[in-house]
Amino acid sequence: MRPTIFVLLLVSASLVNAWHQTGHYLVVETARNSLPPEQRDLFDTIISTFQPRAPLSVAEAAAWADLSKALAVKGQFPAEWHYYDLPLNMSREEVLENIHEDADQRMPLGIFGALKTTVDYLRTPIPPDCQTRFAKSRIFMLFLHLMGDVHMPLHTCAGFVGNTNQTDDGGLRFKLGGGYRNLHLLWDGLLGWSKEICAGSETKPACMKARLQAFTALPQGSHPSPALPEPTTDQMVDTLAGWFLETHNLCEALVYQGIEEGKAPSAAYLAAGQTAALSQLGLAASRLSAVLQQWLLCPKCPLALEFANHTTDSQIECLVQRSTGLELPAFARLVGLEEPPSWWSRVDWVSPVLVAAVLGTAGFYWWRRHSRKPRSYRMPAALRKGR
């Protein structure tokens, strides 16, 4: 047996729900390792800006967008930005029409519009200060994550529930047997922890490194980075649209073929799915590397210029200056996430005074009622006359 086939079997040996972190880590770390040294240092600087005292690892940064989604942070990163499930059997023209419509929205509807918006924001020159660097660090991690999501087939398409016209929410309502809950979780689990690969790796980082080495040894783990066009709006949208369309076509050609609702998937289906998942991760890594090198971290790119001299000392200084409530004002305004202040928030400084006045008034009347001296007793008139 050839070593690559043996490694492929090891990578596919365990079906655990781990696309969430393992898959995203493989994409981002593979892309990072392919960068030139100066761009790799810049990559690390942008990531560490988010949390300079205890910088996130690459695995944590790659999965951070899922964590923020799970925490339901108000006004940031809607869950819908992680997918855009277009129904099966749509023509190429219909798919492109839908995703271009998403790209034209000020507030993205799904992953395609979110990808386009994040790249636009990262390429927008903004005077570098603590606030904008912190915002761009978080958007950068969101972008890294979305590049993995857009290559996951069930983040781009959806089948139908039975014979109805209702979609199955990207396989979440496509129930399976054999211990598999639904089709989406099955595909999430096509990349699982392998006991063989992680043998002797007692810590999670060591196991991650072992899986990265196994992945990069596979043919699917090494794709040449494509040459990208100039990042004008139209060229960028067309490039991202082509990647989305490829994933959607894969979903239609493979994910919903050879599997029946309510039944366990066959061994052949699982093997084909695992091979496709590994190939998609390799494509995502090569394309992410190309975007980083050619659109975001090139010497004259705005993002690179803004972080060029952002040292560890300046990061910590920003951390001290930054208030705990600082979020993403510039990005929020860009995509329309920033909610207008409510009437109550405008007069919030008055609220303590109002509360004190109400409590004071109530206390005064309570004191008046309970502190009055009892009325003096007056003898009835009939008794007074008899005295």
Per-residue pLDDT band at 340 (split at 50, 70, 90)? very low
**Distance, CA of 192 to chain centre:** 20
More confident residue, 313 or 123: 123
**Per-residue pLDDT at 129:** 79
Annotate 350-368 with DSSP letters as a single string: THHHHHHHHHHHHHHHHHH
Q: Mean pLDDT of all residues in the chain? A: 79
* Interval 248-259 mean pLDDT: 94
Query: Mapping DSSP to helix (H, G, I), strand (E, B) and coil, where does residue 45 land?
Result: helix
Distances from the Cα of 316 to the Cαs of 56, 86, 127, 130, 132, in angstroms?
A: 15, 44, 19, 10, 15
- Strand runs labelled E in 155-292: 157-158
- Joined together, the tokens standing for residue 83 give 């997918």
Residue written as tokens 């949208």?
237
Q: Is the pLDDT of residue 325 over 50?
A: no
Higher local confidence (pLDDT), 330 or 249 = 249
User: Quick one: CA dihedral 128, 134, 140, 143, positive or negative?
Assistant: negative
- pLDDT higher for 50 or 139? 139
List Cβ neighbours of 138 (8 Å cut-off, separation of 6 or more): 50, 328
- The residue with tokens 């029946």 is 260
Rounded to an integer, the average pLDDT of 48-60 is 86
CA 140 – CA 119 distance, rounded (Å): 9
Asked if pLDDT for residue 14 goes beyond 50, the answer is: no
Residue 259, phi then psi, degrees to nearest 5:
-140, 140
Domain ranges of the chain: 3-335, 348-386
pLDDT tens track for 35-47? 999 999 999 999 9
User: What is the H or E stretch that residue 146 is in?
Assistant: helix 130-149
For residues 136 and 134, what is the distance between their CA atoms, to the nearest angstrom?
Answer: 6
- Over 90: is that where the pLDDT of 158 sits? yes
Q: Compute the distance between CA of residue 130 and CA of residue 320 in angstroms, rounded to an integer.
A: 10
Amino acid at 356: A
In the predicted structure, residue 131 carries a pLDDT above the cut 60: yes
The pLDDT value recorded for residue 387 is 47
The better pLDDT of the pair 74, 146 is held by 146
Share of the chain above pLDDT 90, in %: 42
Q: Which CATH number fits domain 3-335: 1.10.599.10, 2.30.110.10, 1.10.3720.10, 1.10.575.10?
A: 1.10.575.10
249 vs 384 pLDDT, higher one: 249
- What count of Cα atoms within 13 Å lies in the side-chain half-sphere of residue 51? 10
> Is residue 257 scored above 90 in pLDDT?
yes
Three-state DSSP class for residue 170: coil
pLDDT of 317 reads 65
pLDDT for res 222:
76
In the numeric block, the tokens 């979110």 are attached to 114
The average pLDDT across 328-344 equals: 45
Whole-angstrom Cα distance, residue 23 to residue 148? 8
Exposure string over 166-199, b if 16+ CB within 10 A, otherwise e: ebbbbbbbbebeeebebbbbbbbbbbbbbeebbe
Question: Which span out of 70-79, 167-176, 356-365 was modeled with the highest average pLDDT?
Answer: 167-176
The string of pLDDT tens digits covering residues 203-227 is: 678 888 888 888 888 887 778 889 9
The pLDDT of residue 252: 93
At residue 9, does pLDDT exceed 50?
A: no
- CA-based radius of gyration for the chain: 29
Question: What pTM was estimated for this model as a whole?
Answer: 0.77
Band (192; pLDDT cuts 50, 70, 90): low
Closest CA to 123 of 287, 240, 296: 296
Distance of alpha carbon 228 from its chain centroid, rounded?
Answer: 24
* DSSP code of residue 84: -
More confident residue, 154 or 341: 154
Band (241; pLDDT cuts 50, 70, 90)? very high
The whole-number pLDDT of residue 327 equals 42
* Portion of the chain with pLDDT greater than 70, in percent: 74
pLDDT at 139 (0 to 100): 93
Q: What pLDDT was estimated at residue 312?
A: 63
pLDDT value of position 30: 95
For 286-335, give the DSSP string.
Answer: HHHHHHIIIIISSTTSHHHHHHTT--HHHHHHHHHHS-TT---HHHHHHH
Q: Pick from 280, 241, 276: which is nearest to 111 by CA?
A: 241
DSSP per position, 25-38: HHHHHHHHHTS-HH
Mean pLDDT of 317-323: 58
* Statement: residue 337 has pLDDT above 80: no
Which residue(s) pair with 87 in the sheet? 158
pLDDT-derived band at 52 (thresholds 50, 70, 90) equals confident
pLDDT value at position 76?
A: 62
Secondary structure letter of residue 264 according to DSSP: P
Separation in Å, CA 307 to CA 10, 122, 231, 348: 40, 12, 20, 37
Query: Average of pLDDT values for 383-387?
Result: 51
Buried/exposed 231-249: b ≥16 CB within 10 Å, e otherwise:
beeeebbebbbebbbbbbe
Q: 358: pLDDT confidence band, cut at 50, 70 and 90?
A: confident
